[in-house]
Structure 1
Amino acid sequence: MTTEVSSASSAVTPRPASTAAKGGTNLTSDFDTFIKLLTAQAKYQDPTEPMDNTEYASQLAEFSMVEQQVLTNDNLGSALDQLGLGNMAALTGWVGMEVRSATAAHFDGTKAINIAPNPAASADEVTMIVRNADGDEVNRIDLPVSADPYNWDGTNFSGDIAPAGNYSFVVESKVDGEVVLSEVAEVYTSVRETRMQGNDVVLINDTGAAILATSVTALRDPGSGQEEA
């Protein structure tokens, strides 16, 4: 059974780690700078014309607001970190399942790899380029202008079966001989584990690659769907 995943963001809400860290750093920097300025202002004020009490109270209020901003940012970061861990726990049910995403797939030497091409609708020629783990071309296969799945049986340019290993599939769409779209086709790979990388949940597949959970477009039971050509 195949389940389409329209958006993995319903289970995963990634937060760029650099954004949160940068925000916290900026607030902390502003906080420290404010303290230094306020201290210097109080230390070097003209004793004959001291700072107005109202103005001083206003600055103290601003000081309190900056402090609260820093604390709020820290608490928000902690909450989002906990949310990420919860998302990873929720996706542990995907371990052992097959997910579809734009990545390389492992060919065991016998079992065909199910590929989901997505050529440009305007194309008049579509070619799928098969590459091994070293990036060498293994085969070029003409495909129809269709998103119908294709099963690669492991054959290379000479018609022999390629050795077992990891292979990627790039689909080129051409119009009048010019390439208008070139992208890695989506394939099904088995999920071995889930991990946290920063605040993102990633899936480790059978090739050892890390796939963002948000990039998954379909989920299915192991071994299903191979009858499609």
Structure 2
Amino acid sequence: MSNIGGVGTGATNSTSGTSTSSSDSSAVSASVQSEYNTFLTILTTELKNQDPTSPLDTNQFTSQLVQFSSLEQNLQTNSLLQQLVTSQTQSQIGGALGYLGHTVQATGNSFTLAGTSSDSASLSYTLPAKANTAVMDIVNSTGQTVREISVSTDAGDHSETFDGEDASGQHLPAGTYTFTIKAADSTGTAIAATTYETGEVTGVDTTGGVVTLHMGNLTVPAANVVQVVS
């Protein structure tokens, strides 16, 4: 994937923004075009070589024309869909470029540490209702929980400052970490929290038709942005 002036392009598949990638759409169009060309060749050859004294059966010829018309309509439909996908992607890129240089908050649960003694991270989450208990788990890249922190149980938006230390007070090494919120009400029923990633947008690229923002070492779909912080 290339990245030029903060804007890059890619060709891998992804789930996001649009459900149909440009490569998939092009492959379908090429397949229908091939069928269209083959059918047209067969039909014209058949007409050229028919016996003048015994022309094609009217019903059979009509059926062939209907098939021809159907293939032509499919080609036009695929062409319009391709134009729509391209237009949507370009529109999304235009909107995402406005995030460059700004700090945004997006749904997600990843953050990075530099491995220094001054490491810290502001980790945000929202509870839809008041909880009886709420714990934030800090998880490393291997899936190991390295810290468990009691956090606010109030309904609404919260931001917790993580000091970058593990359960024994040692500074965690540089890398990408995730955090999860485990909350429950007084009956022990889990309350689903929404977590957020925050960072300055340093680049924009497209991957499989999905517009993605670079926030340092993190990447998030532009569609996940919920607010511009600064």
Task: Normalising by structure 2, report the TM-score.
Answer: 0.69
Distance 1:34 1:180, change over 3 A: farther
Distance 1:47 1:180, change over 3 A: farther
Counterpart CA distance in 1 for 2:104 and 2:39 is 51
Counterpart CA distance in 2 for 1:219 and 1:195 is 19
User: What does residue 126 of structure 2 align with?
Assistant: 118
Distance 1:28 1:124, change over 3 A: farther
User: What does residue 134 of structure 1 align with?
Assistant: 142
Asked whether the equivalents of residues 110 and 176 of structure 2 are also in contact (C-alpha less than 8 Å), the reply is: yes
1:144 equivalent in alignment to 2:149: no
Spell out the pairing of 1:49-60 with structure 2 (5 A cutoff).
Answer: 50-53=55-58, 56-57=61-62, 59-60=64-65
More off after superposition, 87-96 vs 43-52? 43-52
Counterpart CA distance in 2 for 1:49 and 1:175 is 83
Q: Shift of residue 220 of structure 1?
A: 1.7
Asked whether the equivalents of residues 124 and 173 of structure 1 are also in contact (C-alpha less than 8 Å), the reply is: yes
Counterpart CA distance in 1 for 2:189 and 2:41 is 59
Distance 1:183 1:121, change over 3 A: closer
Counterpart CA distance in 1 for 2:193 and 2:28 is 34
Spell out the pairing of 1:17-166 with structure 2 (5 A cutoff).
Answer: 17=21, 20=25, 23-24=28-29, 27-28=32-33, 31=36, 50-53=55-58, 56-57=61-62, 59-60=64-65, 62-101=67-106, 102-108=108-114, 109=116, 110=118, 112-119=120-127, 121=129, 123-146=131-154, 147-166=157-176
Structure 1: 5+ residue stretches without partners: 1-11, 222-229
Q: Shift of residue 213 of structure 1?
A: 0.7
Asked whether the equivalents of residues 109 and 180 of structure 2 are also in contact (C-alpha less than 8 Å), the reply is: no
1:183-221 Cα distance to aligned partner (Å, 9 max, x none): 7721212222100111111112212x3211111212222
Distance 1:24 1:178, change over 3 A: farther
Q: Shift of residue 19 of structure 1?
A: 6.1
Counterpart CA distance in 2 for 1:30 and 1:149 is 58
- Decide which of 201, 206, 209 is 1:199's aligned counterpart: 209
Tell me how large the CA RMSD over aligned residues is. 3.8
Overall identity of the aligned pairs, in %: 23
Equivalent residue letter for 2:29: G
Q: Shift of residue 164 of structure 1?
A: 4.1
Asked whether the equivalents of residues 170 and 184 of structure 1 are also in contact (C-alpha less than 8 Å), the reply is: no
Distance 1:88 1:40, change over 3 A: same
User: What does residue 4 of structure 2 align with?
Assistant: none
- Decide which of 7, 16, 19 is 2:20's aligned counterpart: 16
User: What does residue 168 of structure 1 align with?
Assistant: 178
Task: Normalising by structure 1, report the TM-score.
Answer: 0.69
Counterpart CA distance in 2 for 1:176 and 1:30 is 63
User: What does residue 4 of structure 1 align with?
Assistant: none
Q: Shift of residue 104 of structure 1?
A: 1.4
1:117 match: secondary structure = strand
- Between Structure 1 and Structure 2, how many residues are aligned? 209
Q: Shift of residue 70 of structure 1?
A: 0.9
Q: Shift of residue 24 of structure 1?
A: 3.4
1:130-179 Cα distance to aligned partner (Å, 9 max, x none): 12333332210112223322222323212444344332111112346857
Distance 1:79 1:59, change over 3 A: same
Asked whether the equivalents of residues 205 and 211 of structure 2 are also in contact (C-alpha less than 8 Å), the reply is: yes
Counterpart CA distance in 2 for 1:35 and 1:123 is 67
User: What does residue 13 of structure 2 align with?
Assistant: none
User: What does residue 6 of structure 1 align with?
Assistant: none
